[in-house]
Amino acid sequence: MADDRISGNETFDDDAEYITLQFDDNNEVECEILGIFDFEGKEYIALFPQDGTDDIYIYGYKELDDEEFELIDIEDDSEFEKVAAEFELLSLEEE
């Protein structure tokens, strides 16, 4: 998956925010934004795809301006594992 740029694809439903990801193979998946969080000096975003799976997508997050942001693939396995563990801890704290 290459870096996905999202602009103007946000919609609101029952106070939840959604974005549509478009992948390199042109498949699209609507995802609920679970949250944006900081970890070790970087920002990340957690997404819940509305495709019937229990998957959670986690990307690096970079705000470009008021209407645009960039999702950045986390290519380092060690970094991804740490970020996923942090998201899991944050999720448990909210419950």
> Which residues contact residue 94 at a Cβ distance below 8 angstroms, ignoring those fewer than 6 apart?
none
The alpha carbons of the chain give a radius of gyration, in whole angstroms, of 13
Q: pTM for this structure?
A: 0.79
Per-residue confidence band for 59, with pLDDT thresholds at 50, 70 and 90: very high
Residue 27: how many CA atoms within 13 Å on its side-chain side? 7
pLDDT of residue 7: 34
Q: pLDDT tens for residues 37-57?
A: 999 999 999 999 999 999 999
Q: Determine contact, residues 37/86, Cβ cutoff 8 Å.
A: yes
